[in-house]
Structure 1
Amino acid sequence: MERTGEQIIRTEYSEVMQKSYIDYAMSVIISRALPDVRDGLKPVQRRTLYDMYELGIRYDRPYRKSARIVGDTMGKYHPHGDSSIYDALVVMAQEFKKGLPLVDGHGNFGSIEGDGAAAMRYTEARLQKITQEAFLGDLDKNVVKFLPNFDETEKEPEVLPVRLPNLLVNGSDGIAVGMVTSIPPHNLGEVIDAVIATIKNGDITTKELMKYIQGPDFPTGGLVVNKDDLLEIYETGTGKIRLRGKVEVEQTKGGKENLVITEIPYTMMGANIGKFLNDIANLVESKKTTDITDISNQSSKDGIRIVLELRKNADVKNLINMLYKKTRLEDTFGVNMLAVAEGRPETLSLKRIIEHHIDFQFEVNTRKYQTLLDKELHRKEIQEGLIKACDVIDLIIEILRGSKSQQQVKDCLVLGVIDGIKFKSRASRKQAEQLKFTEAQAAAILEMRLYKLIGLEIEALQKEYEITLEHIETYQDLLNNYDSMANLIVKELKAIKKEYGRERRTVVENGEEAVYEEKKAEAMEVVFLMDRFGYARTVDPAVYERNKEAADAESKYVLFCMNTDKLCVMTDTGSQHLLKVMDVPYGKFRDKGKPIDNICNYDGKTERIIFVDTLQKVRMSVLIFVTEKGMIKQVEGTEFDVAKRTIAATKLGEEDKVVSIAALGEAQTCVFRSHQGMCLRIAISEIPQKKKAAIGVRGMKLDGEDRIEEVYYPDSEKDKVIYYKEKEVHLDKLKIAGRDTKGTRIRV
């Protein structure tokens, strides 16, 4: 319910929530996360740049503290967290993220390798020259609409009068509610050429536009290798761009070669560079490649340089393809050209973005030159009045001397009213009655200084009047003639391209698919060792034999297997996890190994391993499952031969757990021992064979909270004696009973 004064309004809660969430979602979409197609900026970026402009932090003035900019922006225009404003400021200053940086940063503004910027109290910033000229110029000429800020104490521009298609040049990325934008950056010169071509030919197609725009141009360089897909991406506004880093081969002494990565995919920036180096190290450790002998990151402020030293006679081409396949040296950039157009989010094609920009340029220039025309017309009116006044200056002086008030003079100059004014002659009176100055002209005459009556000043006034007439003619031509306005916009765009254009950094081509032939590992026998903490490793059988006593004592599981085998790891939750023996680190006996959690999907926090064996042995066996609540069954091992890394090995009842999984051996009987000391010995033939998806049947009847703790298969002398609370129990002396009975109690 909502209380409004004394009135209580009853509403449906779901409707209130729905409306509130829609309002929130639209606020995020329009006022926070998505750029406007006209200036290519999000609100936080627009407000930050406008605030810097208002503070006078121009490109040709000293830097100012970032904290001052952030605080002023937050207090006047953007009432959100200071971190969001500073993050936006930092990104606009980073050359490796923006094709055209809009802010000139001074200090530590982060690095391409993911180092964060220094705190805002340490860094300084100011506007870039192009930002001041092409983004914020002409704001004083009524070119865009101004809106009240959040508390209606200031005015802020609805959009900046950007003179270039910033949405394409700098791109954008953002996550709104239920939608995402991801627009790649492009080359300034190419985009301007495409805009000019569209102005000259409104029916131009996307395919024809791509003669000017080859494709994205990322600040990190690299290669786009699916050129043929770009046409569809630019026509639909969505798709995937395949990126590759640039790899060069350098010759070194001794006939060896180095692979040098000098450019990276745009998506690898930041922490992904460190991950890329780790991925290469893992390929070396896991013996996927033996060609790399050393890895070094020699990147600096001059650019990326990652050096891979290779052994002699290394297969370079295969190694490069392996890097493309196994690491992020080849990656995809998801394109979704979503922006706010005409007040609503819309996925735009390349041509639609350019058309929106052209429409915006015509709108901005129309407002600009209409404002200038109005000023020139006003100036023309004043100048005509002053010129006319110079011709009758003696009369005007006579009127001034004969009047008692300023209003009398104005009425006389504008309306010819002479009541109350003393004149020297009847001719002057008659001439005064014929005066028809405008209000503005009369005000200008009254404010005119005497030195304006000097001959040279009168000539200068006449020249100014002629210039004003020329300006009026120019502005009227621009406003009334589409071609004139179009030519002006083209001229301005060409000037921007000439001053700020640069060479393309990203190569666009149709690259060959990376084909990597993985060398098959030589099959060899190993011993799998895993301790009670879950650390696993494999060693050579000879190493195991030399350290057999220590290995058996320290390891919970010891398995002889081939390095090409797969292992089945089954847990108390009824899950089976498969892992390749090849993924288990191979090394010395005293090596610690690797946590099994990192090799397969096993989760040591929620599961406990109770069975490990090779898939080959499991396939040829029959497994017996026993749960805490006494459910038992036999399952054919072939059911566990699957491709999935994790499956349900058995079905469990509510709050039940698996306590034992064993391969059926030569034993004829099995013994269940419960927590409360009950023992039941049954014939294995009584355990029915079921599917892995079945729960099974009850093997032992349990009282109350009792549960099965251990299961024994007495098929040898050593297995026939157990100890329960320090009491010796001979399993072979227990009477064989029927399934689903209580068994006998161990007397302690």
Structure 2
Amino acid sequence: MEEQIIRTEYSELMQKSYIDYAMSVIIARALPDVRDGLKPVQRRTLYDMLELGTYYDRPYRKCARIVGDTMGKYHPHGDSSIYDALVVMAQEFKKGQPLVDGHGNFGSIEGDGAAAMRYTEARLQKITQDVYLKDMDKGVVDFLPNFDETEKEPEVLPVRVPNLLVNGADGIAVGMATSIPPHNLGEVVDAVKAYMQNEDITTEELMAYIKGPDFPTGGIVVNQDDLPAIYESGCGKIRLRGKVEVEKGKSGRQYLVITEIPYTMIGANIGKFLNDVADLVESRKAPEIIDISNQSSKEGIRIVLELRRGADAEKLQNLLYKKTRLEDTFGVNMLAVADGRPETLGLKKVIEYHVDFQFDLATRKYQNLLSKELEKKEVQEGLMKACDVIDLIIEILRGSKNQKQVKDCLTMGITEGIRFKHKSSEKAAKELCFTQRQATAILEMRLYKLIGLEIEALMKEHGETLKKIARYEDILNNYDSMSRVIMDDLEQIKKDYGKQRKTVIMNAEAVVLEEAPIEETEVVFLMDRFGYARTIDPSVYERNRESADAENKYVIRCMNTDKICVFTDQGKMHTVKVLDVPFGKFRDKGTPVDNICNYSSEKEQAIYVDCLTGIRDKKLVFATKAGMVKVVDGSEFDVTKRTVAATKLSGEEDLLMLVGIAEMNDYLVLQSAGGYFLKFLLEEIPEKKKAAIGVRGIRLGEDDQVEAAYLLASRIDFTIHYKDRELVLNKLKLGKRDGKGTRVRV
């Protein structure tokens, strides 16, 4: 076979491939369908559970069996995605209406994961069977081939409520994401009925029924006035607050008790909230809180903050709303797949799509039912007619050689080959004209059906069938009749599964937190060689001066409103607010500097630490491993960013070796690895900006580098240990910047 080479533009091929991939993720994985409000993995899992017979009134089945069956038949992706979807559908704190009844450890609201699928069991909830999977056997939805065309799966489930609103949805696709909050089932049903009664209803009028989101965690929506615009456009931000109650304990002590949390706080964010509260206490922003305890259980959330006597509970409550995730934002983006493409939908549009879907389901359902009743009517009429000529039929049966002869006689009056006792019987037989279905029913009819009571029952059943046919035809031919059926169905669902609203909808002013001015006091900053930092009172330092100076690498007197500047060998400067450094007793361990700024002790090393006021009006000297030097005005480091470049290094191997205050010294000494020392005046170093690389301080030989740098005052001897002997740097010969220096031999 001759090889064929197809030439194409690479960019066009990449573009087409990426678009195909993106649409696959958008349509087949990440976004829900507006009709049933389910993603493909959820739809397939629920359908598989129906196929497995895991009904609500039957024993639980292992989740591993459900996941494996779903993956093998319908969802050709990883088992974790299927199990994760199954778990979420069982978690009542995530879904307004859980669709799966889980047995075992299915995780907790505090972020604990579910147990492995081999340990957990599940079955369908009753609402899932009654509302999401009912009528699957009535041909109401289309079935498509699965991934390998060995099975059939439903294109969509016949969900009878707007699940997109009831349970919400979230998902990240390619270039787009969806985030839809859950709503109250009863309110959604009322809104759907209102739309069916008046299709010109506005979004604002619909919101007379749907007040707003109804999160399973409760909480308070505090921007009610913004909701109409959000539901009109399908996009916006909902402000959520947790519910806080003030309880009084013994001796007049008060407790702030959090009984409901924002929906966005479920999971690991509860632990983060507790840490944030602890940080507020440690930073002395909330000193009135003396104890934090998480007493949450299966019964619900209960986080208790114990307050000092006389504490202002309202002020602390506002502080929590302002500084923690107790008040948070839920971003709404009502994006779903509608008519095969992603579309951002407003509230009315979602209900409109749902109602159209319900009419389609009802039409197909009642067409199917009507078809069956018409078949039943046909059979019943045939049997009643057969009872009137039963003697003739018996004669035909006894005179026929095979079943075909009987059927031909009953349906077409063909009597050839059939023996009749009387000519009149043959004549009557030729006039028979039963249908094929009636003929089959006559042949299958048992003799006891000829009893008088059985014939009466048949006639009564025929009357019921005629009533059903008339009802079904009325529903199919009359819009109002079909509407009434759908609305009655919705009303029954509301009666059976409706719940009280949990989330309060209101307007509340934004929290205005008037922070008390910080009393400016002097403190002593201590940082040991391991990077642990703390501040203590100056009087405590004076009493322990000797120990403090011996045990700590940096001891700096500063104000509590000041900033600490940490210069590192990577040429960076990190700033730390002194208020963020824990204040305590002299023997307190403190906290690693890594925890309160961007400094990383694993990647860089602190070479100079000072307070901002200590360097702001000074000149700083910089020296690097490559021998570059410069002087920088200290005011350049008065920045708002937590991390800035203190100097530019000359390469990846270059390091910052020295940072020091120039005004306290007269000379700079650079020591190279090759044993050269160069001492020169600081006034020879030009002043540069912090982003500059500087000028050459010492002329280094090949493969040589600066090993150490020292700042000297002319009146004070500076002694170092060099190759097992003492070397007084002040006695070195004075040279010029950019010289080679003097080699010191031992």
Deviation at 1:606, TM superposition (A): 2.4
One-letter code of the match for 2:704? D
Give 1:284 deviation, angstroms.
Answer: 1.1
> Which one of the candidate residues 472, 478, 481 is aligned to 1:481?
478
* Cα separation, 2, equivalents of 1:57 and 1:727: 85
User: Does 1:602 find its partner at 2:599?
Assistant: yes
Cα deviation, 1:606-645, whole Å, max 9, x if unaligned, reads 2222221111121110111222222222222222212221
Establish whether residue 303 from structure 1 lines up as the match of residue 295 from structure 2: no
| Structure 1 stretch displaced more, 7-16 or 179-188 | 7-16
TM-superposed CA distance for 1:226, in Å, is 1.0
Q: Which residue of 2 aligns with 1:706?
A: 704
Report the secondary structure of 1:549's partner residue: helix
What is the 5 A alignment of 1:371-382? 371-382=368-379
**Does residue 1:137 correspond to 2:134, yes or no?**
yes
**Counterpart position of 1:514:** 511
Could you report, residue by residue, the CA deviation over 1:274-331 in whole angstroms, capped at 9, with x for unpaired residues?
Answer: 2211211121122111111111111121111111111111011110010011111111
Match of 1:665, SS state, is helix
CA contact (8 A) 2:666 2:714 kept: no
1:251 partner letter: K
What SS class does the counterpart of residue 386 from structure 1 fall into?
helix
Amino acid at match of 2:570: T
Q: Which runs of 5+ in 1 are unaligned?
A: none
Which one of the candidate residues 384, 390, 393 is aligned to 2:390?
A: 393
Map 1:121-520; keep pairs closer than 5 Å: 121-520=118-517
Distance change in 2, residues 1:29/1:432 (3 Å): same
Name the structure 2 match of 1:672: 670
| C-alpha distance in 2 between matches for 1:720 and 1:100 | 77
Specify the alignment match of 1:742 in structure 2. 740
Report what 1:110 is aligned to: 107
Q: Secondary structure at the match of 1:711?
A: strand
Long gaps (5+) in structure 2 = none
Amino acid at match of 2:266: M
Relative to structure 2, which stretch is displaced further, 732-741 or 186-195? 732-741
Match of 2:626 among 626, 629, 640: 629
Distance in 2 of aligned mates of 1:475 and 1:5: 63
SS of the aligned residue for 1:207 comes to: helix
SS in 1 for 2:608: strand
Which residue does the alignment assign to 2:82? Answer: 85
- Aligned AA (1:372): L
Q: Secondary structure of 1:421's partner?
A: coil
Of 546-555 and 367-376, more deviation after overlay is shown by 546-555
User: In the TM superposition, what is the alpha-carbon distance from 1:16 to its structure 2 partner?
Assistant: 4.6
Aligned-partner Cα distance in 2 for 1:56–1:670 = 84
Q: Deviations over 1:44-68 (max 9, x none)?
A: 2212221221222212222222233
Which of residues 507, 515, 528 in structure 2 aligns to 1:531?
528
What is the CA distance between 1:545 and its match in structure 2?
A: 2.4
Matches for 1:635-650 after TM superposition, within 5 Å: 635-650=632-647
Partner amino acid for 1:466?
Answer: G
Q: Is 1:732 aligned with 2:733?
A: no
Task: State the alpha-carbon separation in 1 of the partners of residues 2 and 603 from structure 2.
Answer: 55
1:33 aligned residue: 30
CA contact 2:667–2:714 (8 Å) conserved in 1:
no
Q: How far, CA to CA, are the matches of 1:98 and 1:713 in structure 2?
A: 66
Q: Are the aligned partners of 2:714 and 2:730 in contact in 1 as well (CA < 8 Å)?
A: no
CA contact (8 A) 1:40 1:166 kept: yes
Tell whether the 8 Å contact from 1:713 to 1:719 is kept in structure 2 after alignment. no
Which residues of 2 match residues 48-59 of structure 1 at below 5 A? 48-59=45-56
What is the CA–CA distance in structure 1 between the aligned matches of 2:2 and 2:425, rounded to whole Å? 72
Letter in 1 for 2:239: R
Q: Which residue identity does 2:719 align to in structure 1?
A: V
Q: CA deviation at 1:175?
A: 1.9
Per the alignment, residue 719 of structure 2 pairs with 721
Relative distance call for 1:420 and 1:270 in structure 2 (3 A) is same
Of 615, 618, 625, 2:615 maps to: 618
Distance 2:521 2:221 in 1: 42
Which stretch of structure 1 is more off in the superposition, 203-212 or 453-462? 453-462
Please, what is the CA RMSD of the aligned residues? Answer: 1.9
Secondary structure in structure 2 of the residue aligned to 1:670:
strand
Q: CA deviation at 1:577?
A: 1.4
Q: How far off its partner does 1:10 sit?
A: 5.3
**CA offset at residue 510 of structure 1?**
1.0
User: What letter matches 1:672 in structure 2?
Assistant: L
Of 649, 654, 664, 2:651 maps to 654
Which whole-Å deviations, capped at 9, do the CAs of 1:665-692 have from their partners, x for residues lacking one? 2433322222212122222221112222
- Residues 296 and 308, structure 1, Cα contact 8 Å, conserved in 2: yes
Higher mean C-alpha deviation, range 487-496 or range 537-546: 537-546
1:420, CA displacement in angstroms?
2.3
Structure 1 CA distance for aligned equivalents of residues 75 and 30 of structure 2: 13
In structure 1, give the amino acid aligned to 2:257. V
What is the alpha-carbon distance in structure 2 between the residues aligned to residue 685 and residue 71 of structure 1?
77
Aligned residue for 1:470, secondary structure, equals helix
- Alignment partners' CA distance in 1, 2:31 and 2:180: 11
Instruction: Return the match for 1:63 from 54, 60, 74.
Output: 60
Give a deviation string over 1:201-238, Cα, whole Å, max 9, x none. 11111111111101100011000111111112111212
Report Cα offsets for 1:484-520 as digits up to 9, x if no partner: 1111100100011011111100001111211222233
State percent identity of aligned pairs.
70
Contact kept? 2:658, 2:710, Cα under 8 Å: no
Superposed CA offset, 1:87-121 (max 9, x none): 22222121111111111222222221222223333
Counterpart of 2:740, as a letter, is K
Segment of structure 1 superposing worse, 626-635 or 68-77: 68-77
Tell me by how many angstroms 1:268 deviates: 1.1
- Contact 2:336/2:342, CA 8 A, preserved across alignment: yes
> Could you tell me how far apart the structure 2 residues matched to 1:5 and 1:257 are?
88
TM-score w.r.t. the length of structure 1 is 0.96
Do residues 693 (structure 1) and 691 (structure 2) align?
yes
Distance verdict in 2 for CA 1:380–1:309, change over 3 Å? same
Q: Specify the code of the residue in structure 1 equivalent to 2:743.
A: R
- Single out whichever of 35-44 and 72-81 deviates more from structure 2: 72-81
Moved more, 257-266 or 233-242: 233-242
Q: Quick one: distance in 1 between partners of 2:717 and 2:227? A: 70
Distance 1:407 1:666, change over 3 A: closer
What residue is the counterpart of 1:542 in the other structure? 539
Distance of 2:40 and 2:2 partners within structure 1: 36
TM-score (norm 2): 0.96
Deviations 1:523-562 (A, max 9, x none): 2222111122211111222222232222222222111111
The answer on whether the counterparts of 1:681 and 1:735 sit within 8 Å (CA) in structure 2 is yes
Return the alpha-carbon distance in structure 2 between the equivalents of residues 671 and 127 of structure 1. Answer: 79
Structure 1 residue 156 displacement after superposition: 1.7
Question: SS at 2:427's partner residue?
Answer: helix
- Structure 1 residue 177: Cα displacement: 2.3
CA apart distance, 1:460: 1.6
The CA deviation at 1:394 is: 2.2
Q: Residue by residue, what CA displacement relative to the aligned partner does 1:433-481 show, whole Å, maximum 9, x if unpaired?
A: 2222111111112222222222222222111111111111111111111
Cα offsets for 1:115-173 (capped at 9, x unmatched): 22233333222211111111111111001111222232322211111111111101111
SS at match of 1:676: coil
CA distance in 2, matches of 1:346, 1:497: 28
In structure 2, what is the Cα distance between the partners aligned to 1:264 and 1:297?
A: 13
